[in-house]
Amino acid sequence: MNRRFLGSCVVASAFVLQASVAQGANTLQVLMTGITFSAPDLTVTVGDTVRWVWIDGFHNVESGVGGTHDGIFRSGDPTAAAGTTFELVFDQAFLDANPQTNNSYPYYCFVHVGVGMIGTITVVTDPQPWMTSGVDIYNTNTGNVGIGTATPVQKLEVVGSAIVFEPLNFAIAGVTETGLGVIGVAGSGGLAGAFVGDVVVTGNLSKAGGSFKIDHPLDPANKYLSHSFVESPDMMNVYNGNITTDRSGNAWVELPTYFGDLNRDFRYQLTVIEQFAQAIVGQRIQNNRFLIRTDKPNVAVSWQVTGIRMDAWANSNRITVEEMKDVENRGQYLHPELYDKSDESRMFRMNDFEEEKGIARKPSLHGG
């Protein structure tokens, strides 16, 4: 699954930021799990300690490029012992003894360098402080900013809750070229998102199911009432009503003035009411109207007409009823528990984002 996110927010409050470029002697952890380092490209300040932690897999840590050790640091032979740690203090004495261009120290796992398990430690001797410009705060460091984490992997990463309040414009914007603008992943019993008010979607909305849910009209204080949406493989519009034929057994049904420009492939249903009679479509839809004829006068008829959308947007965005999954998603499921599959095969897992951080696995969201 592609995981590229970009967002922006403005928070109206006083706050302190813990940046990925820390001030002073901090200890920053790099977790090793699978074939990845959790924070492969880390920027630290002189005096900081980097601690590599073995979570799972068979690993070691060696400085150098492409599997060629440069002699600066090495954790030892590869090991699979979970909980093993290797620490290195990047103080001024280390920099003086091991000078590198831009104080940049590449490293790798000897076992997995061939599949891209590499990283770089960059030591900043004079990180830019936070500065003010009017009511704004900023710095010119090129790394990531973490609130509640010393190893952020995005431009802004917050571990914990955040409240964004903007009374006039938009509060949060998620923009991406080919990835996901916004994603919400809920744990068991949680909600991935909650909207109080109207929501506008200008593109397609894909879902596994849908319904309305309201306070029950007969017991609004204690019950809900839900109805499922009506689904179709077509972009189908439904029109219906009741009409009574005249003394000649005729009735013209007038449809909206836009009907013929919006719809094609019309289908009809007629049901007579309160008496035995025959009803037919006496004339198909022309000029946004059609004729119902009955074999008796003054017959009440319930009618329904459907049409397939043919407006410009629908013609450009037909729903693909059956399609192959993208190559990277084959073998994965939207709902693996329905097919007796484990949570490992779920698309959009919380663990996907934990793995990006190198966080040890939490229990599965759905008991898989």
pLDDT in tens, the chain (368 residues): 433 333 333 333 233 333 333 345 788 899 999 899 988 888 888 888 999 999 988 999 999 999 999 999 999 999 988 899 999 999 999 999 999 999 999 999 999 999 999 999 999 887 677 777 778 887 767 778 888 887 787 788 888 888 888 787 778 888 888 777 888 877 777 888 888 888 888 888 888 888 889 999 999 999 999 999 888 999 999 999 999 999 999 999 999 999 999 999 999 999 999 999 999 999 999 999 999 999 999 999 999 999 999 999 999 999 899 999 989 889 999 889 899 998 888 887 755 555 554 443 333 333 33
In a domain, 57, yes or no: yes
In a domain, 321, yes or no: no
pLDDT for residue 198: 87
Q: What is the DSSP letter of 13?
A: S
- The CA distances from residue 3 to 7, 53, 105, 201, in Å, are 13, 24, 27, 22
* Residues 306 and 339 reside in one and the same domain: no
Tokens encoding 318: 């037909």
In a domain, 42, yes or no: yes
pLDDT for residue 353: 55
- The CA distances from residue 40 to 36, 106, 109, 119, in Å, are 8, 9, 11, 4
pLDDT one-digit tens code per residue, 168-212: 777 888 888 877 788 887 777 788 888 888 888 888 888 888 888
Q: Where among 102, 124, 146 does a domain terminate?
A: 124
Q: Where among 107, 124, 141 does a domain terminate?
A: 124
Instruction: Report the alpha-carbon angle 242-243-247, nearest 5.
Output: 155
In a domain, 132, yes or no: no
* Residues 289 and 334 reside in one and the same domain: no
Q: For position 287, which CATH number holds?
A: 2.60.40
* Residues 71 and 43 reside in one and the same domain: yes
In a domain, 113, yes or no: yes
> What three-state secondary structure class fits 185?
coil
* Residues 334 and 296 reside in one and the same domain: no
* Residues 279 and 334 reside in one and the same domain: no
* Residues 299 and 338 reside in one and the same domain: no
Q: Which domain holds residue 72?
A: 22-124
pTM tops 0.75, yes or no: no
Q: Where among 92, 124, 156 does a domain terminate?
A: 124
The number of helices, as runs of H, and strands, as runs of E, in the chain is 4, 24
Instruction: Report the alpha-carbon angle 258-264-266, nearest 5.
Output: 100
Contact (Cβ atoms closer than 8 angstroms) between residue 261 and residue 285: no
* Residues 306 and 343 reside in one and the same domain: no
Q: For position 74, which CATH number holds?
A: 2.60.40.420
List % helix, strand, coil for the chain (3-state, nearest 5): 10, 35, 55
Instruction: Count CB atoms within 10 A of the CB of residue 278.
Output: 12
* Residues 76 and 118 reside in one and the same domain: yes
Widest Cα–Cα separation across the chain: 106
* Residues 120 and 37 reside in one and the same domain: yes
pLDDT for residue 167: 80
Tokens encoding 56: 């799972």
In a domain, 213, yes or no: no
Contact (Cβ atoms closer than 8 angstroms) between residue 8 and residue 172: yes
> What three-state secondary structure class fits 37?
strand
Q: Per the structure, how many domains does the chain have? A: 3
In a domain, 174, yes or no: no
Please provide the DSSP assignment of 85-146 as one string: EEEEEE-HHHHHHS--GGGEEEEE-TTTGGGT-EEEEEEESSPPPPEEETTEEE----S-EE
**Which residues are paired to 307 by β-bridges?**
237
pLDDT for residue 343: 84
Question: How far is 108 from 73, CA to CA, in rounded Å?
Answer: 11
Question: How far is 1 from 13, CA to CA, in rounded Å?
Answer: 35
* Residues 331 and 311 reside in one and the same domain: no
> What three-state secondary structure class fits 51?
strand
Question: In the β-sheet with 41-45, what is the strand arrangement from edge to edge?
Answer: 41-45, 118-124, 104-108, 62-65, 68-74
Contact (Cβ atoms closer than 8 angstroms) between residue 354 and residue 344: no
> What three-state secondary structure class fits 245?
coil
* Residues 341 and 280 reside in one and the same domain: no
In a domain, 77, yes or no: yes
Question: How far is 211 from 225, CA to CA, in rounded Å?
Answer: 10
pLDDT one-digit tens code per residue, 308-328: 999 999 999 998 999 999 898
* Residues 68 and 99 reside in one and the same domain: yes
